[in-house]
Chains A and B, each alone.
Chain A
Amino acid sequence: MIREGKFGVQEAMWLTAATISSKVFYTSPGLITGIVGNSGWYMTLISMSIALLSFTFICLLLKRFPGKDIVAIFNDTMGGVVGFAFSGILGLYLLFLATSRVSEFTNVMKIYAFPLTPSVIIIGILTAGVIILCILGLEALARFTKLAVYALLVGYVLVLILGVQNYDINNLFPIFGYGADKVILNGILRSSAYGEIIILAVFAKSLQGIHHIKKAGYISLIVSGIIISLSLLAFSLTFPYYSTLEITAPMYHMATLIDYGRFVQRVETVFLFIWFISSFISVTAVFYCITSIYCKLFRIQDAKPIIAGSAVIFFSIAVIQVNIGVAAEQTIQITRQYGWIPPFALPLISLLTAMLRKKGVVSHE
């Protein structure tokens, strides 16, 4: 089958955490604050708990079928046609996730860093990087993530710490934002922000055993929850609720304000590295899962020729999204509301079916 290699808990954990948290650099914090005011930072913790709960169900499902990944499990529990459909929905969901991430990234980059470069080149370079690393394999990606994550974390913490001079605790009040009910409702709906955790289920065969998957999944959800929450907290501390709505890329703007003395000014370009590398990593991880699902659906043994073809499709969809511009953003908004269905609801349905039809191995601990 596809050579997915083996890697350990730490690498899987950091890969998933990087994939989930790299969305904090783009437009979503601004949009969240628009909806719930300055209580975004604990709203996301609510989302995280919902995601943790759903991940428990995914783990239960994986435990019943040790050594198999989610496509095979869907096939087993739901039968050929429905399983195919479920996996297809999951694949399409991941495709949409990756391309919307790419288009968001391109838009933010074009506004702040590269205004004149045509978006085709930006997306092209990104796709080239994605192709090369997918050819090299998932192991290489996971190891590189583990290596790069030290620098990424240091840079991220540095942005938060250096921004201290702009924090004002009063910006966090009123504490309930636009109302506690809105906070809780949106918290539940927006648990789709952590939907990328499903990629752990897709390459479940590379991790040795359900125990590792559990550990990697829980810890990565908690870590990414902390990262997203901290950045939203820093963001709410810096800007009061009425000006957050307007900002396109909040983290970048926060970095712009760092100003210590004559020398440490205008340093936000240094943090560009972190954003670029984490975007590369997250897009590659999701793209790899898409290719992997496709190959497993159609029982293709070797993924390498598929990668080139999928990359072309991916590139085209990303370019279309960028060109649509505003309309794409609306679509993204709608998807965020319902985006929790493929990663959380589908495995849940599969689990219930498995329990009803008494499929799979039930381990007695």
Chain B
Amino acid sequence: MSKKIALIVICTILAAALCSCYDAKEIDDIAHVLAIGVDKGVSDKWRLTLQFANMKGSSSGEQMGTSSGGDGGSQDGYTYVTVDAPSFFTGLDILNTSVPRRLVFTHAGFIVVSEEFARDGLLGEYIAPIRRFSEIRGSVHVVVTKGSALDFIKANKPVIGTTLSKAINTSAREPENTGFFPHVTLDDFYEALLSTYRQPILAMGAVNRFENFDEKGPKWNNEYNPGGQYFAGQTPRYGENNIEYWGTALFDKDKMVGELNGSETRALMMIRGEFVRGFFTIQDPKEPELIIALDIRQDKRPRVKISFDGDIPVVDLTLCLKGDMLSVQSRLHYEEDPLLSLLEEKFKEDVKEHVNQLINKCKSLGIDVFKFGNVVTRQFLTIDALEEYNWNEHFKDVRFTTNVEFLIKRTGTQRKSYPIANPEE
């Protein structure tokens, strides 16, 4: 009896084998795409750019000569190809004929879209094939870039180490450290597109051509500058890395309608409850020319209470933050009362101001990117009632009040700082 079972099993396996294994892709028959870029094309409707590893980096002990940065577009073992095509899949097919291996998207790290593309509202069209394709996962990072996506991808190099994928992955997680740009995945974006009660946002990126960095010129006077007010691509810096992620792109469904700078993004993240940590500098209340730096973290998720005054929604927002002191330039004793409370009040005012400005800005655009709509759903019993109310329409009339709860918890390694002795005149 067992012999017959064995015979059946062997026959089945042989049969499967004879039909050959369709899905077995040898690992060296495929090329992994790491980044996807989409622009409006000139020769055709879309311009599709794909960046993938070209396996020319160093392998298992053999140190071949470093690949020269020729115009083929090879960068440290990575290369990109670009094509103008009528649709995503046609473009893919065209590229597959010129790239010797089959391109596979399972390890794609981010999708970058040009601002022009986003402002024309083409994202809705474009997102459809990407969403249905099983290879592109819902967790890829999506970025809108000033300029063209092709330039962005060209400039995308790993600054530290040689693995591009690591660089992509770690930079996508930077929001946890600074809060200057949001971490938005394809799934997030898509959900917000379909939503009846919120609007999508995307991270903003750019290729910084170091124009704002004046190497020579008059030195800065002591004006206070919080440092977050730049837009993407305008931060005054210089160095190896061209690419930067900074700020947020605001969407009204699939059309981009606005942009936020760094500090506004931080306020946005705080309201959404996604802010993790960041360094803030505020003006010293007693000596306006000097600053105090604080390390701010979100204590609890923000509390949002929504009620209705007739048809007008009334939002009561409470942010809960906590912080550590990082530097007190004036060396006054801010670590203890009464200066401590003064400092806390100053910070709260700062944050409130930023938050109010931001909400008013979005009100004027008529978009709710703060996830207030999510809380509104609790007020309705059925989906039909919710959709009838149409939160998106009513958002521009919302009345809101902001409160900030903030406590400074620790003061760093110094309990107090004493003034530097004055040099003898």
Contact = CB atoms under 8 A, between A and B. Distances in A.
Contact of B384 (A112, A173, A179, A242): A179
A266 B166 CA distance: 15
A309 interface: no
A208 interface: no
A334 to B, nearest CB: 25
A135 B3 CA distance: 13
A124 interface: yes
B187 interface: yes
Contacts of A124: 12, 15-16
Interface stretch (A63-71, A81-89, A113-121, A222-230): A113-121
A240 B381 contact: no
B191 A173 contact: no
A213 B135 CA distance: 46
B170 A262 contact: yes
Given A115-B23, A173-B380, A241-B383, A262 B134 contact: no
A131 interface: yes
A118 B22 contact: yes
Contact of B195 (A135, A177, A242, A257): A242
A345 interface: no
Contacts of A239: 191
A180 B377 CA distance: 16
Contact of B137 (A173, A180, A266): A266
B9 interface: yes
Contacts of B173: 261-262
Contacts of A265: 139
B382 A177 contact: yes
A117 B196 CA distance: 39
A172 to B, nearest CB: 8
Contacts of A243: 190-191, 194
Nearest to A308: B8
A257 B138 contact: yes
A178 B377 CA distance: 13
Interface residues of A, number: 41
Interface residues of B, number: 37
Nearest to B377: A173
A161 interface: no
A147 interface: no
B421 interface: no
Contacts of B190: 243
Contacts of A174: 377-378, 380-383, 385-386
Contact of B22 (A116, A125, A253): A116
Contacts of A259: 139
Interface in B388-405: none
A233 B22 CA distance: 37
Interface centre among A136, A180, A257 (most CB of B within 10 A): A257
B137 A240 contact: no
Interface string A155-189: 00000000000001011011111111000000000
Contact of A128 (B8, B166, B383): B8
A135 B4 CA distance: 11
Interface string A238-262: 0111110000000001001101011
B9 A128 contact: yes
B312 interface: no
A361 interface: no
B253 to A, nearest CB: 13
A306 interface: no
B247 to A, nearest CB: 23
Nearest to A117: B22
Interface string A304-336: 000000000000000000000000000000000
A246 B360 CA distance: 34
A178 B383 contact: yes
A352 interface: no
B374 A37 contact: no
Interface in B227-253: none
B139 A257 contact: yes
Given A174-B377, A174-B386, A257-B139, 8 more contacts: A111-B134, A115-B134, A170-B374, A170-B375, A171-B374, A239-B191, A242-B191, A262-B169
28 contacts: A37-B382, A38-B383, A117-B22, A121-B16, A124-B15, A124-B16, A128-B9, A128-B12, A132-B5, A168-B374, A170-B378, A171-B374, A173-B378, A174-B381, A174-B383, A175-B381, A177-B383, A178-B382, A178-B383, A178-B384, A241-B383, A242-B194, A242-B195, A256-B138, A257-B138, A259-B139, A262-B166, A262-B173
Q: Give the top 9 A-B pairs by smallest Cβ distance, nearest first.
A: A170-B374, A173-B377, A116-B22, A128-B12, A174-B380, A173-B378, A117-B22, A242-B194, A259-B139
Interface of A: 37-38, 111-112, 114-118, 121, 124-125, 128, 131-132, 135-136, 168, 170-171, 173-180, 239-243, 253, 256-257, 259, 261-262, 265-266
Interface of B: 5, 8-9, 12, 15-16, 19, 21-23, 106, 134, 137-139, 166, 169-170, 173, 187, 190-191, 194-196, 371, 374-375, 377-378, 380-386
